Structure 1
Amino acid sequence: MTGQEISFRVDASLQIGTGHVMRCLTLADALKAAGASCRFICREHPGHLLGLIRQRGHAAIALPGPVANPSPGSREHPFQPAHAVWLGADGSTDAGQTRTILQGLVTDWLIVDHYALDARWESALKATYRKLMVIDDLADREHICDLLLDQNLVDGMANRYRGKVPGHCVCLVGPQYALLRPEFSALRPASLARRKTPSLNRLLIFMGGSDPDNETGKVLDGVRLSRKPWEHIDVVVGESYSALQTLKETLANFPSATLHIQTPDMAKLMAAADLAVTAGGSVTWEKCILGLPSLVVILGENQRPIATMMHQQGAQRTLGMASELTPACYAGYLERMAVGELPTMIDCASKVCDGAGVERVLKILDNEKRI
């Protein structure tokens, strides 16, 4: 990838969460190590991660903050993606702002990871890039991309994008292409070896980087209600987590707990944990690499298909929608969790994802540029 110029269009926000930017950063780090230059174009939503992107050594260009009430679709294109409101502007405005940034620059690959963008936006940018890669999880709209990545495990993956992408598009579907940081695969052997003698002494809680509804606090209330003793509890939140002071006050009642904010040590924390309580989303694949058993909460409908399939395969226990769970529910699930249930969950999870997704995607990106 030496000399390649890569542009990313992706956002993080309190509503969107941090997962899209984090997986793009993982890919960007690998691209940079392979000799490419990466730039990110992100709207300044509340909870954006522009600072983190720059800290990781990539260019980050900010689009203006979100408009309170973006205009609806045009008369010619009245139907908008289901997540259009996440964009913070109407699609044509966003396309125009992004096009202004990219004009005059070389973009060998434009990589788009955004539920609010579809083929119309991609067409409007077509003159600014040589090839287009789309990262998606929903398969609910059309794209004109050369390469599509969907790292999820849901029913009908093989045909999920039929009729939604061009005939020449290469589709990479399944967790074998999950964009995960190399430290997870590096810790996989040791983590799996440790789990040959499972235990329930150390708990990890991670309800997403932003957690706008403070599900983290609800889980901790459940831990306090339960009669299950934990030798140690690790609580992870992102830098955009809005209830930090409340969380710190809650954790004052947990002398065995440690708070981690935007930690770079997530792989180590997961490898050390015996059980995790997490939201759905991309953290699913990180847990799988390390064989970490988990109780999983669905925060949005986009997480339901994956959480359901993972539960059916025995790789995790999915508890349902966060809005339907109370602290007493969490307490009950934690109390009923038995060591004897862990080996099956460990085995099933570890078979879902091996952690080599970034390497596979890099090879395909490099091969595709030659065509």
Structure 2
Amino acid sequence: MIVAFRTDASLDIGTGHVMRCLTLADALRERGAACRFICRAHPGNLIDLVRDRGHTVVDLPAASYDLPPASVTASAPAHARWLGTDWATDARQTANALADAPFDWIIVDHYALDARWEHLLRPACQRLMVIDDLADRPHDCDLLLDQNLGRNAGDYASQVPRDCTLLIGPRYALLRPEFAALRAQSLARREKPQFKRLLITMGGVDKDNATGQVLDALKDCALPAGCEITVVMGPHAPWLEKIKAQGHGMPWSTTVLTNVADMARLMTESDLVIGAAGSSSWERCCLALPSMILVLADNQRVIAHALQANGAARLAELSTLRRELSAFIQELTSIEATLTNVRTGAPAITDGLGALRVTAQIMEQRCQ
């Protein structure tokens, strides 16, 4: 089976789309599939990482984000400018990148693409899959995955063909296999709550430096004297060097890491995380890691409120972070009660086996 992925990472887009596609590609490769990525070479791309993971990449040329008004119309997706060119040009370039072989599947994970692009790419594949989070535009696909809590099939009723198969909810969250492998160990650790290790992770890019705001706010908090802080950032994060310098001035031992290869182990060994309410939320839920989450993008807001409503995390706003974080840390003087409260609903949300379920569905449809 030959599978193509059309997805991008950039300083505006972030890294989450490429990372979850990589997880799915790795799972498909385990079933014998060959995977090819088509990615535009935006600033902050992850093309080298994809190649390092053993997948082939066709890199499309970087283009200007300052598109002429005619290329972004009122009917275009809300995130059309993230593509870096108009959708028709991208479709032609992608079709050329796939012209040398018959593809069983094209999997597209891009907020800037919709049914028009997908319709043009239909001749290049047997079946087409979309990974989405927004339910804000039409799709022409055979299979659609939306892994978000609070989403339901009705949200896509008017957006996809009637015979499209929908995979909805965190049951299908695309997590690397090490999260499921460490789940039992992590859950056992939570049975005796403690507060010694704090993890901060605001996504691979964090272009607005939420990480720096969290570190500033923590200086006013009564963390335990021996607390260890670990900050995880992407290698292209624009504030990386500033955060490293800021970490040296913290009252507690603070380590800044990039290119973390074993995030599941790091989360398992942490007692609390302050993080963005993005796709890494499902990793924390799988491991029942107590979490304070921040909304750093509009598409994270629904996820954040759903996690809080389900007892899986504590939601805070950047605008009031200093006050909310100080109060929350102060609550942790009652460590057992508080840490238990902010992780009670988490492990029921996902078990970490979503990539296997999605892979099985792809293989089944291919056989059909």
Q: TM-score, normalised by structure 2?
A: 0.95
Return the letter of the residue paired with 1:286: E
1:82 aligns with 2:72: no
1:33 aligns with 2:56: no
1:145 aligns with 2:145: no
Measure the CA separation in 2 of the matches of 1:273 and 1:301: 27
* Equivalent residue in structure 2 for 1:226, among 204, 216, 221: 221
Aligned to 2:163: 168
Measure the CA separation in 2 of the matches of 1:347 and 1:235: 24
Aligned to 1:284: 281
Aligned to 2:52: 55
* Equivalent residue in structure 2 for 1:313, among 292, 297, 310: 310
1:135 aligns with 2:122: no
Return the letter of the residue paired with 1:345: V
- Is the CA contact (8 Å cut-off) linking 1:40 and 1:59 kept in structure 2? yes
The root-mean-square deviation of aligned C-alpha atoms, in Å, is: 1.6
Query: Does the residue aligned with 1:172 lie in a helix, a strand or coil?
Result: strand
Measure the CA separation in 1 of the matches of 2:69 and 2:92: 16
Return the letter of the residue paired with 2:103: T
Measure the CA separation in 1 of the matches of 2:280 and 2:115: 28
- Is the CA contact (8 Å cut-off) linking 1:234 and 1:269 kept in structure 2? no
Measure the CA separation in 2 of the matches of 1:217 and 1:187: 30
Question: How far is 1:217 from its partner?
Answer: 1.0
Measure the CA separation in 1 of the matches of 2:340 and 2:65: 49
Question: How far is 1:130 from its partner?
Answer: 1.0
Return the letter of the residue paired with 2:28: L
* Equivalent residue in structure 2 for 1:46, among 37, 43, 55: 43
1:193 aligns with 2:221: no
* Equivalent residue in structure 2 for 1:251, among 223, 247, 253: 247
Measure the CA separation in 2 of the matches of 1:78 and 1:215: 31
- Is the CA contact (8 Å cut-off) linking 2:18 and 2:46 kept in structure 1? yes
Aligned to 1:115: 111
Return the letter of the residue paired with 2:102: V
Aligned to 1:96: 92
- Is the CA contact (8 Å cut-off) linking 2:331 and 2:338 kept in structure 1? no
Question: How far is 1:232 from its partner?
Answer: 1.1
Q: TM-score, normalised by structure 1?
A: 0.95
C-alpha change, 1:367 and 1:253, in structure 2 (3 Å) is same
1:361 aligns with 2:358: yes
Measure the CA separation in 2 of the matches of 1:333 and 1:93: 49
Question: How far is 1:332 from its partner?
Answer: 3.6
| Percentage of matched positions with identical amino acids | 48
* Equivalent residue in structure 1 for 2:211, among 211, 216, 219: 216
Query: Does the residue aligned with 1:314 lie in a helix, a strand or coil?
Result: coil
- Is the CA contact (8 Å cut-off) linking 2:65 and 2:81 kept in structure 1? no
Return the letter of the residue paired with 2:188: A
Measure the CA separation in 2 of the matches of 1:328 and 1:49: 36
Measure the CA separation in 2 of the matches of 1:59 and 1:164: 31
- Is the CA contact (8 Å cut-off) linking 2:4 and 2:35 kept in structure 1? yes
- Is the CA contact (8 Å cut-off) linking 1:71 and 1:90 kept in structure 2? no
5+ unaligned residues in a row in structure 1: which ranges? Answer: none
Return the letter of the residue paired with 1:95: A
Return the letter of the residue paired with 1:8: F
* Equivalent residue in structure 2 for 1:333, among 309, 321, 328: 328
- The farther-off stretch of 134-143 and 78-87 is 78-87
- The farther-off stretch of 325-334 and 196-205 is 325-334
Measure the CA separation in 2 of the matches of 1:334 and 1:82: 38
Question: How far is 1:310 from its partner?
Answer: 0.7
Measure the CA separation in 1 of the matches of 2:53 and 2:60: 19
Question: How far is 1:158 from its partner?
Answer: 2.9
C-alpha change, 1:73 and 1:185, in structure 2 (3 Å) is farther
- Is the CA contact (8 Å cut-off) linking 1:110 and 1:131 kept in structure 2? yes
1:19 aligns with 2:22: no
Measure the CA separation in 1 of the matches of 2:240 and 2:110: 27
Measure the CA separation in 2 of the matches of 1:73 and 1:105: 34
